[in-house]
Amino acid sequence: MQSGISRRRAAALAEGGAAYAERRAEIIASAARIFREKGFRGASLADVAESLGTDRASLYYYIGSKEELFHEIVRDAAEANAQQAEAIRDGAGSAVDKLGLLITALMSSYSIHYPYLFVYIQEDLSKVADRRSAWARQMTVINKRYDDAVIGIVESGFGDGSIRPVGPARVIAYGIIGMVNWTHRWYREGASGMPSAAEIGRTFTEMVLNGLSSGTLTPPAGQQPADQ
């Protein structure tokens, strides 16, 4: 059964007033900064309220919980990544160039949205949201859009001969995505000695493109090319 404040929040969301939407966007943006500074587990609604110069009770008119804020932030970041991947896929340039752009863009996104996108990657979704929830369904659709964009780039490379068909396009695409996603295990924004996200993106790009390029590569000493 909904509480009074829950009903008021639901009504305000449904009405879609500009002032309400603007204030809610401010709260979400502030929460993103707090999550970046303190991490999802370390942050609280009180921290978000303090950053906005208000009290926690006032936030409940706009947002129901810290988890809801997390969902909004992650969805917005994932949506931006999907849109960027689709723009790269549909834009000018060779498939090889597009893969390089995509890899560096994804790593840059993880730096910009550090650490909450990593929280999403490493957490069991059952701990963050009901898999049957509207948010979980939205994330499934967004993630598929991203995957399809990467697969499309690889397939176009197969078609124009710029990417060697070393395996199914889906496997190659998932391998690239997984390589960048795995940085959640070791990348720490701003840590001493930690390479920048841009440097990591460039390194990954070189690794991937040297392995997939249709150009002739020099094998290590004593090792014959795989097609001989």
Domains and CATH numbers, the chain: 4-59 (1.10.10.60), 71-210 (1.10.357.10)
* Residue of 103, 122, 96 whose CA lies nearest to 179: 103
Task: Pull the structure tokens for residue 178.
Answer: 């997984």
**Would the pTM count as exceeding 0.85?**
no
pLDDT tens readout for residues 166-190:
999 999 999 999 999 999 889 988 8
| Residue-averaged pLDDT of the chain | 84
Q: Is the pLDDT of residue 228 over 50?
A: no
Neighbours of 207 (CB within 10 A): 13
Mean pLDDT of all residues in 69-85: 91
Query: Can you give the pLDDT at residue 100?
Result: 93
Query: Can you give the pLDDT at residue 214?
Result: 63
Cα separation, 100 vs 156, whole angstroms: 14
Cα separation, 174 vs 50, whole angstroms: 41
Query: Can you give the pLDDT at residue 190?
Result: 87
Strand stretches in the chain, DSSP E:
none
Burial class from Cβ neighbours inside 10 Å (0-12, 13-18, 19+) for residue 170 reads middle
- Please provide residue 163's backbone torsions phi and psi, each rounded to the nearest 5 degrees: -120, 130
Task: Pull the structure tokens for residue 34.
Answer: 């707090």
pLDDT tens readout for residues 190-201:
899 999 999 999
Q: Is the pLDDT of residue 132 over 80?
A: no
* Residue of 62, 65, 66 whose CA lies nearest to 19: 62
Task: Pull the structure tokens for residue 15.
Answer: 């009405």
